[in-house]
Amino acid sequence: MILQPRLSRTPLAGHQQRSIRSGDLEVRLAATAAEIDAAQALRYRVFYEEMGARATPEVAASRRDRDRFDAYCDHLLVIDHARSAGPDSVVGTYRLLRGSVARRHGGFYTATEFDITPLLAVPGEPLELGRSCVEAAYRTRPTMQLLWRGIAEYCFGHGISLMFGCASLPGTNIATLAPALAYLHYNHLAPPALRARALPERFVRMDLLPPDDIDTAAVVAQLDKRATVSALPPLIKGYLRIGALIGEGAVIDHDFNTTDVCIIVVMDRIVGKYFNHYMRET
């Protein structure tokens, strides 16, 4: 992994998250309760209607994906100004939770699935990334780049030293997901000092195949060539491209019909060209 010059860990005095515009698309933080509601509506459409998450009666009635963490998180939005103003103009979202905020409230969502004690011991301000989703028609490189530029702006403004969160593989059939999980375990496992671990009662082994069954060279050469990594969602591929590490063990989330891994991104270790592409530009 290529080491790059350190990102500033000192929050910018008086920092206000700026809006970033690219054509009709804008990325910025939600500024009103209505905009957060629009993000929750998008999450419902993607997680429940498209991906088959299991809705409680309350969630089904409201058609919103909500939980207790929403109240004290920041919500990053991608807005399409070519659409009429209103909930339908929000086409992408990320939920952002800083350590200093989590400590004053109810902690981190990731801690409901993983022991993140090693991550919280890292000096500086951590940032949890979660509830990422993009409307199907907007799952393009420009949209994802815009989201990452928004995250980069947020990281610089708040002096973020480390990002982490739950990243999901679709489905709960571990036999089907075994090649992807084994690839992540053998090639991207975090070192012990950063190794978040699935909670004991939810722990699922990832090293379900022997290393020789994983064609690592082909995977590294071209992420989309092998079935092993074609099973990885674009979001996880994006994390790997910037040098993400993976915690130990996976967690099956039957409510969301996913299998989760813990993603860890140390800001000082973001891989070279992606450091330049996503971070230094901002």
The pLDDT assigned to 273 comes to 56
DSSP 139-185: -SHHHHHHHHHHHHHHHHHHTEEEEEEEEEEE-S-HHHHHHHHHHHH
Contact 93, 171 (CB under 8 A): no
Alpha-carbon gap, residue 147 to 78, rounded angstroms: 7
Contact 97, 128 (CB under 8 A): yes
Contact 198, 113 (CB under 8 A): yes
For 45, counting Cβ atoms within 10 Å of its Cβ (0-12 exposed, 13-18 middle, 19+ buried), the class is: middle
Q: Classify 106 as helix, strand or coil.
A: coil
User: Rounded to two decimals, what is the model's pTM?
Assistant: 0.87
Low-confidence ranges of the chain (pLDDT < 70): 1-15, 214-231, 271-282
Query: Structural domains in the chain?
Result: 20-280 (3.40.630.30)
